[in-house]
Structures are given as structure tokens and as C-alpha cells.
Amino acid sequence: MASSSSSGLTFKLHPLVIVNISDHYTRVKSQLSLPPSLTSTSSAATSNNNNNNSNGGENNQNPPPRVYGCVIGVQRGRTVEIFNSFELIYDPSTRSLDRSFLEKKQELYKKVFPHFYVLGWYSTGSDAQESDMHFHKALMDINESPLYVLLNPAINPAQKDLPVTIYESELHVIDGVPQLIFVRSSYLIETVEAERISVDHVAHLKPSGGSAATQLAAQLTGIHSAIKMLNSRIRVLHQYLVGMQKGDIPCESSVLRQVSSLLRRLPAIESEKFQDDFLMEYNDTLLITYLAMFTNCSSTMNELVDKFNTTYDRHSRRGGRTAFI
């Protein structure tokens, strides 16, 4: 398997797909393994599960099941964006793909998301295998160049990077025979604002509601962690460059070029128009704050007046209102 893709397509993956695949896998796995409370051997199984935590809680009897499914999304020009996915029925031993099921599901999804096309398929496992090529070829009549998204469900606490890889297929001539092999591609994580908020919500279990102070804290914490991340990445780059300067690390001009182009992109925007628009937005927000303050003040005033009236009217019941206001 070659290690770099040359097709030039940019891939964008939505977090929904990742959670989808993970859910599919967890579901199938828990259906296969015995639930902890039902059988007598369960206590042994669960204690073993706890010990084998590093294996991702594998059942002692069978290896973790592989699940298969289809990914759908949109391809615009050179950008391929994967939005969603659904399950498929595939039997690896007989290599039979349930065609009618696939078509049925495709139809259903077309009704709700008319813009999405089948872009490829997904599976779980630790590495792409030869047998996967059969599935890949089976999908080729729907999409000439399908993608293969592989998720590695093994939970490894030392892992720093997402265990998701995207493979494309390329026709290479090996030993005089043209063969399709998998090549890895890089991808970006793309999201819409709503998706980001819900992922944030589920990942960090942010508090909903509560006083203004807590909301402010939540908002600032989010930004703070993002900036911390940015900072650490920049530090790594800095150390790398310093090392290069000292001569500890061999000079690599491509990296240097990228860093220099990155630096030249700062400041991000500096035009007059931007400053104008930015200040306008700033002023708008200040105006809203001012209005809100006004409303608050008038409400408090109103309450004060009401209280005044109630207090002082008690003494002068007769003769109607002689009190204030």
C-alpha cells in the first residue's frame, strides 16, 4: 500500500460520521457480547473485560466484529465533503453485498437529503486489508472512485491522533499487472456551527442555563482551550525552528517555506473596510448593551415607583390619589 495520495482531492469529514461509525460498532459489539447481568459467567467476563481495558474491552471469545457501511456526502469540484453515513449488510466470508438493501437505504436517504451522493464506504479495523478490495470494487459501479474510511476502534490511551484514515484506490502497475491498491489521503475535519456546539456539549458536558457568570465562564473556557492548543502547536514549531537553526535537525526547505508562508499571512486582514465593518459591529453590540441597560433601569425605576405608591397610599385612602406621581 502506497503512503501518499496523488489524486489531489481534498477531503472534509464531519464529526457526525465519526460518531455514527462508532455507534454502529458499539451497538454490534454489545449485541454480540453477553450483557453483564444476565448469565452466570458474566461476572468472570466483566472482570476480564476490566482487566483487558487496553484491548478496548474485547470479548475473550471472539475478536471485535467488523461493521460495514456506506458514507454519503457531496463532491464539489476537487473537494469531497462527507456528511453522513448508514449501515450496510455485508458478509466478508461469502463476500456478498446486499445490493437491494443498499439501494433501498440510498433511496430513503435521497428523500431526506436530496443533495447527498454515495461517496464510498466505511469499516472498522486496525488496517486496510486485501479482502477490503472486494467490497471496494463492488461499490465502484455506484461511484467510480469510492472512498474507504477506516476507523480503528481500539481504545489506546496513548494515542494522540484520531484513529480514522481515509483511503482512495489507485490503479498501479505492479509486476506488469494493473492492480488497484489503497493509498492513504489526508483529510480535514469540517463542521457547521450547530454541529460544533452539540459536539462540544456532549464532549465536555457544558452546563446549560445557569447564571450569566457561568455562561461567561463556559464561553471563555472554550476559547481559552482553543488558544492553548494554538499556543502549544506554535511552541512545537518554534522549537523545531530553533533546532534547525542550531543545526541539531537537518534543514528541510519545504517546511521552512510553509512556515514562512504562514507567517506572511499575519496580520490576517488589515484593510480599511474591515476596520470599518468591525467597528460598526462593535458599536452595534455596545448599542444593544446600552439599550438593555436602559430597559433594566426603567424596570427598576418602575418597581421603585410601584413600591413607593403602595407604601404611601396607605395613609391617604380618602380622596383618591394624592400621593406621588
Partner 1 sequence: MDSAIAQKTWELENNILTVETPDPSSDSIFYYDVAAQAKFQQEKPWANDPHYFKRVKISALALLKMVVHARSGGTIEVMGLMQGKTDGDAIIVMDAFALPVEGTETRVNAQADAYEYMVDYSQTNKQAGRLENVVGWYHSHPGYGCWLSGIDVSTQMLNQQFQEPFLAVVIDPTRTVSAGKVEIGAFRTYPEGYKPPDDPISEYQTIPLNKIEDFGVHCKQYYALDITYFKSSLDCHLLDLLWNKYWVNTLSSSPLLGNGDYVAGQISDLAEKLEQAENQLAHSRIGPLGPPRKKEESQLAKITRDSAKITLEQVHGLMSQVIKDILFNSVRQSSRSQNDQSGPEPMIET
10 binding partner 1? (CB under 8 A): no
296 binding partner 1? (CB under 8 A): yes
158 binding partner 1? (CB under 8 A): no
Residue number with CB closer to partner 1 (5 or 22): 22
Least separation in angstroms between CB 178 and partner 1: 35
188 binding partner 1? (CB under 8 A): yes
Q: Give Cα separations from 249 to 232, 241, 245, 253 (angstroms).
A: 20, 9, 8, 12
60 binding partner 1? (CB under 8 A): no
Site residues for partner 1, window 82-121 (CB under 8 A)?
A: 86-89, 98, 101, 104-105, 108, 111-113
Give me the torsion for CA of 300, 306, 307, 311, rounded to 10°. Answer: 160
**b/e per residue 287-318 (b: at least 16 CB within 10 A):** eeeeeeeeeeeeeeeeeeeeeeeeeeeeeeee
Only one of the segments 27-35, 73-81, 133-141, 248-256 lies at the binding site for partner 1 (rule: CB under 8 A); that segment is 27-35
* Closest C-alpha among 13, 18, 19 to residue 189: 13
Question: Binding partner 1 by CB under 8 A: which of 144, 193, 248, 272?
Answer: 193
Q: Give Cα separations from 226 to 190, 196, 254, 280 (angstroms).
A: 16, 13, 27, 26
Only one of the segments 167-175, 197-205, 238-246, 250-258 lies at the binding site for partner 1 (rule: CB under 8 A); that segment is 197-205
Number of residues that bind partner 1 (CB under 8 A): 108
* Closest C-alpha among 38, 60, 64, 62 to residue 47: 60
| Residues 151, 128 contacting (CB under 8 angstroms) | no
Would you call 88 exposed, middle or buried from its count of C-beta atoms within 10 A (0-12, 13-18, 19+)? buried
125 binding partner 1? (CB under 8 A): no
Cis peptide before 153 (omega within 30 of 0): no
Name the packing angle between helices 193-204 and 15-32 (round to 10°): 40
Question: Binding partner 1 by CB under 8 A: which of 158, 171, 205, 251?
Answer: 205
Question: Binding partner 1 by CB under 8 A: which of 158, 173, 177, 212?
Answer: 212
Residue number with CB closer to partner 1 (252 or 303): 303
| Residues 165, 2 contacting (CB under 8 angstroms) | no
Question: Binding partner 1 by CB under 8 A: which of 26, 186, 239, 260?
Answer: 26
219 binding partner 1? (CB under 8 A): yes
177 binding partner 1? (CB under 8 A): no
Least separation in angstroms between CB 273 and partner 1: 14
44 binding partner 1? (CB under 8 A): no
Question: Binding partner 1 by CB under 8 A: which of 46, 75, 129, 145?
Answer: 46
